[in-house]
Amino acid sequence: MSHPTPRRFRKACVVVLDGAGVGRMPDADRFGDGPCDTIGGAARAVGGLSCPEMRAIGLGRLTRIEGVPAVEGPAGIVMRLSEASNGKDTSTGHWELMGHHIREAFRTFSEGFPAEIIDPFVQATGRKVLGNKPASGTVILDELGPLHQETGALIVYTSADSVFQIAAHEQTMPIEELYDICLKARRILDPWRVARVIARPFVGEPGGYTRTYNRRDFSMPPPDGTLLDRMKRAGYPVVGVGKIGDIFCERGLTSSIHTEGNADGIARTLAALDTLNDGLVFTNLVDFDMLYGHRRDARGFAGALEAFDRSVPHLLDALGPDGVLVVTADHGNDPTYLATTDHTREFVPCLVASRGLRSGADLGTRATFADLGQTLADNFVLDSLPLGESFLRSLG
């Protein structure tokens, strides 16, 4: 039996709503998570969401979302993606979306970092360390920010994720010096398989400190052969917007655009699409995670979802009938799950829409985030990725 030739799109835009999960995965208890449902929880907390654009594509079919009931015939292709990799962090999620399966989890340090890490870090930087424990980023600034400003010692902390976070006040330490310190830490931490070193600059006065968008992530390099690598080698433009460049160490990108929050990320995504004839724009919208998920701000999370929903028609217009929009996430970060302020192990949404789609479909629950990367590899006629199953033939 012959199969119809799949529809192909000249350009694609993948938008990661950082932390916007759609329900607890069956193995969540292995990661220390109880009941969690990021988008559903945010909706309940505010008495219902208004997201008509994503509802039409099929968002309400993925979990119970007050204000976003399931539609019978979605206008787009809708599915839940399961995380196959061993983790629930940013790097793991993004890398799996682009086709890499992480079997050995990144190292975490629930009691803080050992002397084998801290001692060479102090020697390399010439600065003492404050903190060295798991902590909320805002809480530890209130606790240790004044002493940091008084002494110049670095605030070092971690979380349930594989992160070595370094906070410094922008008036106490120049940004470039903080970045240089992070690079020194990155070299120390590579053998320990710590996924990310994160620069956490902040400003303000004691009792009123705020973190800035001068944050940078210094990741372990991803393995060779992700979708981004393959697209770049094939000659396609690959534009990273937001912290995509940091997560992939600029690997596989032809250009990388820094952003300052969701609104700026959407604006820069639209600008990139306006100049793109073919290829990929890959965007991370960080406010969902950084400002609302980790701070357990359900109202802020809900407002960010509604704001993004209003941008969907503009993204589809910028892509045109020969382009395709994919809205997804990298993990959960349920603002109503109060047991921790960490990420949550959840399914993620995958909403696929285009002005050129003739019909929609619900593809159910997929086995891996990498089904997205495999579909894009199929679309751009690249060699298959080692993980994932393409759903391109469903995009009729």
Alpha carbon distance 268, 46 (integer Å): 29
Tens digit of pLDDT at every position of the chain (396 positions): 344 567 799 999 999 999 999 999 999 999 999 999 999 999 999 999 999 999 999 999 999 999 999 999 999 999 999 999 999 999 999 999 999 999 999 999 999 999 999 999 999 999 999 999 999 888 999 999 999 999 999 999 999 889 999 999 999 999 999 999 999 999 999 999 999 999 999 999 999 999 999 999 999 999 899 999 999 999 999 999 999 999 999 999 999 999 999 999 999 999 999 999 999 999 999 999 999 999 999 999 999 999 999 999 999 999 999 999 999 999 999 999 999 889 999 999 999 999 999 889 999 999 999 999 999 999 999 999 999 999 999 997
Q: Which neighbouring-strand residues pair with 154?
A: 129
Give the CATH number for residue 19: 3.40.720.10
Range of the structural domain that residue 265 is part of: 11-105+221-394
Distance from C-alpha of 116 to C-alpha of 119, rounded to nearest angstrom: 6
Q: Is residue 198 part of a domain?
A: yes
CB atoms within 10 A of CB 373: 26
Residue 1 is predicted with a pLDDT of 39
Residues 143 and 252 in one domain: no
Residue identified by tokens 């310190």 is 181
Where does residue 59 fall: left (phi above 0), alpha (psi -120 to 50 degrees), or beta otherwise? alpha
**Same domain (yes/no): 295, 344:** yes
3-state secondary structure 125-143: HCCCEEEEEECCHHHHHHH
Q: Is residue 5 part of a domain?
A: no
Helix (H, G, I), strand (E, B) or coil at 196: strand
In a domain, 178, yes or no: yes
Q: Report the Cα 308 to chain-centroid distance in Å.
A: 15
- Does 95 lie in the same domain as 51? yes
Q: Tell me whether residue 2 is in a domain.
A: no
Q: State the burial class of residue 5 (Cβ atoms within 10 Å of its Cβ: 0-12, 13-18, 19+).
A: exposed
**Quick one: pLDDT at residue 5?**
66
* pLDDT given at position 158: 95
272 plus 197 within the same structural domain: no
Q: Across-strand partners of 11?
A: 279, 323
How far apart CA 250 and CA 236 sit, in angstroms, is 15
Domain identity same for 96 and 231: yes
Task: Identify whether residues 228 and 373 lie together within a single domain.
Answer: yes
pLDDT, residue 2, reads 43
Total domains in the fold of the chain? 2
214 with 228, same domain?
no
Residue 390 in domain: yes
DSSP assignments along 304-368, one per residue: HHHHHHHHHHHHHHHH-TTEEEEEE-SSB--TT-TT-SS-B-B-EEEEEE-TT----EEEEEES-
Contact 160, 194 (CB under 8 A): no
Spatial neighbors of 114 by CB under 8 A, at least 6 apart, are: none
Cβ pair 391, 371 in contact under 8 A: yes
3-state secondary structure of 53: helix
3 state SS of 351: strand
Among 184, 219, 254, the domain boundary falls at 219
Q: Which of 287, 383, 266 is nearest to 335 (CA)?
A: 287
The whole model's pTM is what? 0.93
DSSP state of 59: G
Domain boundary among 219, 241, 260: 219
In terms of domains, do 237 and 352 share one?
Answer: yes
69 and 192 in a single domain? The answer is: no
Decide if 3 is inside a domain: no
- In this structure, are 349 and 276 located in the same domain? yes
Domain boundary among 219, 251, 283: 219
Residue 133 Cα distances to 110, 157, 321, 351, angstroms: 7, 5, 50, 38
